[in-house]
Amino acid sequence: MTVFAILALALLLDALFGEPRWLWQRMPHPAILMGRAIQLGDHWFNRGTTPRFNGVLLMLLLGLAALGLGLLFQTFGWWAEIILAAILLAHRSLIDHVAAVADALRLSLGDGRHSVAMIVGRDTSHMTSAGVSRAAIESAAENFSDGVIAPAFWFLVGGLPGLFIYKISNTADSMIGYRTPRHEAFGWAAARFDDLLNLIPARLTAALLALIFGLLSAWRDIQADARLHRSPNAGWPEAAMARGLGVSLAGPRSYDGELRDFPFVHAHGRKNANPADIDAACRALWMAWGLTFLCVSTLALFV
């Protein structure tokens, strides 16, 4: 079975079943195991007088472990590849979590804040309704790139080893890739490696969304907006989503009680995003998923 056929079936399996609670209540999810390995690495390696070197060493060890595990599981056959790829894709769970924010926000602002706090790392206690909506849409766009397009891309490039290396890097970035006193030097390698691995997928995601919204002619504007973002990659899908919905994304937000004055992406868009915009973002992501599935399935038939 070709890598395209395996990926097509994995995409379909993830879209149909997502993250079954009955399974992950009985055993740890692979992402949880990756997180535990990174926690141990942070504990044992983040010490001494060479934190940046130690962080590079940790990423090398994690990458080698991911490579070895990927090669091992590939020997189990195509069925194992389909199951593992489906588990490490995250489209259905992403849509479920983002859509839940819109449903909660329709009940009350407090419910919306509580729901969006499940998917973003910023302070949510004083968010306005528009702020909750923007945060959900940003998370949808960025995590579609990180959780669907990038894993699929690296699976096509390197099979299970490529997928495992990407996931351990992305998980490490989310845990130790922050510019905090503890992790600014130690997490440098995790952040830079994740930036590198997401370079192409983030732009592919933006292109998919631009195609869905009929905005390919505005690619230079999307590119200009993306460069305003604090992240070299997250700005791309957010910029395409912002223009497609006609809203402004990013902008000022609070972390750990400190307001940070980030620029808006698509500053001329509406600032009053609402639950209907979250719903529209989810529909756009389903259409982008469908286009991805169609392309991969077509290649599976002819390659």
Tens of pLDDT along 236-289? Answer: 999 999 999 999 998 887 776 667 778 899 999 999 999 999 999 999 999 999
Both tokens of 146, joined, read 């990180």
CA-atom Rg of the chain in angstroms: 19
CA distances from 208 to 141, 268, 282, 302 (A): 11, 22, 14, 22
The residue among 257 and 21 whose pLDDT is bigger is 21
- CA dihedral sign, ordered 166, 172, 173, 177: negative
Write out the chain in H/E/C secondary structure.
CCHHHHHHHHHHHHHHHCCCHHHHCCCCCHHHHHHHHHHHHHHHHCCCCCHHHHHHHHHHHHHHHHHHHHHHHHCCCHHHHHHHHHHHCCHHHHHHHHHHHHHHHHHCHHHHHHHHCCCCCCCCCCCCHHHHHHHHHHHHHHHHHHHHHHHHHHHHHHHHHHHHHHHHHHHHHHHHCCCCCCCCCCCHHHHHHHHHHHHHHHHHHHHHHHHHHCCHHHHHHHHHHHCCCCCCCCHHHHHHHHHHHCECEECCEEECCEEECCCEECCCCECCCCHHHHHHHHHHHHHHHHHHHHHHHHHHHHC
128: left (phi over 0), alpha (psi -120 to 50) or beta: beta
pLDDT of amino acid 2: 95
Of the candidates 58, 81, 236, the one whose C-alpha atom is nearest the C-alpha of residue 151 is 81
Of the candidates 176, 151, 175, the one whose C-alpha atom is nearest the C-alpha of residue 164 is 151
- Please tell me whether the overall predicted TM-score, pTM, comes out greater than 0.85 for this model: yes
pLDDT in tens, 200-231: 999 999 999 999 999 999 999 999 999 998 88
Domain boundaries defined on the chain: 3-202+293-302
pLDDT of amino acid 88: 96
Q: Does residue 86 register a pLDDT over 90? A: yes
Mean pLDDT of the chain: 94
Can you tell me the mean pLDDT for 50-56?
Answer: 96
The residue among 152 and 180 whose pLDDT is bigger is 152
pLDDT in tens, 158-181: 999 999 999 999 999 999 998 888
30 CB-contact burial (10 Å; exposed 0-12 / middle 13-18 / buried 19+): middle
Q: How many CA atoms are closer than 13 Å to the CA of 226, on its beta-carbon side?
A: 24
pLDDT of amino acid 257: 67
Per the document, the length of the chain is: 303
pLDDT of amino acid 187: 95
pLDDT of amino acid 126: 85
Q: Does residue 290 register a pLDDT over 70? A: yes
pLDDT in tens, 88-140: 999 999 999 999 999 999 999 999 999 999 998 888 888 999 999 999 999 99
Q: Does residue 87 register a pLDDT over 70? A: yes
